[in-house]
Amino acid sequence: MTLTGWPFLLLLGMIGLLCAVGTSLLWNRWPGWWALPGRAASLLLVMALGGVLALAQVNRSYGFYTSVSDLLGRPASPRSLAMPAHSGTGSQVTVLTPDWAALGRRDSRHGHGLLLNVLYPGMRSGLTHHGLLYLPAAYFTGNAQRRFAAVEVFHGYPGSPETFPQLMNIQARLETEIAAGRVPPVVLVIPQVYAGGHSSECVNAVHGEQWETYLSVDVLDDVTRTFRVDASRSWATLGISTGGFCAANVALHHPERYAAAASISGYFTAGQDPGTPGLYQGSRFASRDNSPLWWVRYRNPVAPPLFLSASGGDPGAMAEARAMTATLRHYAPSLPTTTMLTASGGHNWGVFSAAFGPAIDWIAQYLPGPLVAPPTDLS
């Protein structure tokens, strides 16, 4: 049972209701000198459960913690532990969903793709973490030689890959865009972007874990080795909140790999999450190079195109989006940029979900449709 699911909220609600009913029934039945402490303890318990229920609702809205282990700062399961990658010339993604090919063929008959539970190994970074991977219906139908473009999706902090299906219903939202013809059938790659309770900002930490290498090299290479995903510049990034920082930063560092990047309610200066200054060990060069605002101003990038989104009820993200837009216009005028600012809405999953459609539609113009590799000339 996840901490962001309705079953957990209903369980808390039932426990709170039972405590309230019990307090009412026992109010005049406490014997003698037990009456005052008993009533006080009962009231405190009811108020505490009310507070826990309110916090659980906030947690569900923002997707802060999905499990007790996540809340305590520990990996949620053995699947999310960092493990040495396998030796050899290359690694492959481990699919944890049983009979996934048969399930994909079944669901594709109804126009649906399949969301897989996977392990993404990291031969170069030395990291291996769990995640999700979505294969569109077209992956299981038609020409078995077709290769697909991919969008790498980054969650926020706190958060996990599972927040996208649980709080955004990302598969249904993407399939709506595919069915409408606004997006070609694409693969979604949703990796874990931090571990151990501290944000990684998706960077190669100074004397620490190499998350940028893991996300931009290992994950991409392993996915293209395992699935029919195009290995050329037919990838894009999309992220929310801290993941929006990741999407912009990683793509700007690797324009040879990513064709576009979309940041939803993100920021563009390194070190804004709690604990992240430790990633840079006081090195102004490391934090500078991992700040997209600095990168645009002093590197004058010409790729990849950027999509920035923020809402009026989120002043931090709004200020960051405006500053980034102004910097892009001044120092990288040839880099295609779209900025979507809405008047209302805060920093929450309702805003993230509303922005997903426009963001993925914008990304689609830079991605190819399913491709069939030309036959090998055997003459």
pLDDT score, position 79: 40
> CA 257 → CA 176, 217, 234, 260, distances in Å?
27, 9, 7, 9
> Across the strands, what pairs with 148?
229
CA nearest neighbour of 223 among 371, 121, 291: 121
Q: Which are the contacts of 108, defined by CB distance < 8 A and separation ≥ 6?
A: 114, 137, 138, 139, 140, 141
- Report angle CA 314, 192, 154 to the nearest 5 degrees: 40
Torsions phi, psi for 7 (to 5 deg) = -55, -40
pLDDT in tens, 303-322: 999 999 999 999 999 999 99
Go through 88-121 and write b for each residue having 16 or more CB atoms within 10 A of its CB, e for each that does not.
eeebbbbbeeeebeeebeebbeeebbbbbbbbbb
pLDDT score, position 75: 43
Three-class DSSP category at 56: helix
Percentage of residues in the chain having pLDDT higher than 70:
87
Burial of 354 (0-12, 13-18, 19+ CB in 10 A): middle
Torsions phi, psi for 260 (to 5 deg) = -165, 165
String of DSSP letters for 100-111: HHHHHHHHHTTT
Pairing of strands 187-191, 129-135: antiparallel
pLDDT in tens, 171-230: 999 999 999 999 999 999 999 999 887 899 999 999 999 999 999 999 999 999 999 999
